[in-house]
Amino acid sequence: MKFICALCGYNYKSKEGDPENGVAPGTYFEDISDDWICPLCGASKEDFEVIEDEDDITDDEEF
């Protein structure tokens, strides 16, 4: 899954985290504090959209 800011398009990547704002690499989006904000535009965590990534699709899912 991808977590994209609806206001500016910032893509939160758990592999990278957001160390400059206290989020360690490897932190899942769901585990980020609710008061975390987008590092580019200051949007709240609630302003992020979940986008299904093709890499997340498993072989047992029906299309």
Which DSSP string corresponds to 14-42? TTT-BGGGTB-TT--GGGS-TT-B-TTT-
Q: Which pLDDT tens digit goes with each residue over 34-53?
A: 999 999 999 999 999 999 87
Q: Which carries the bigger pLDDT value, residue 61 or residue 4? A: 4
Residue 62 confidence (pLDDT): 43
Q: Spell out the residues 6+ positions from residue 33 whose beta carbon is closer than 8 angstroms to its own.
A: 22
Q: Which pLDDT tens digit goes with each residue over 6-18?
A: 999 999 999 999 9
Half-sphere exposure of 11 (CA within 13 A, CB side): 8
pTM: 0.78
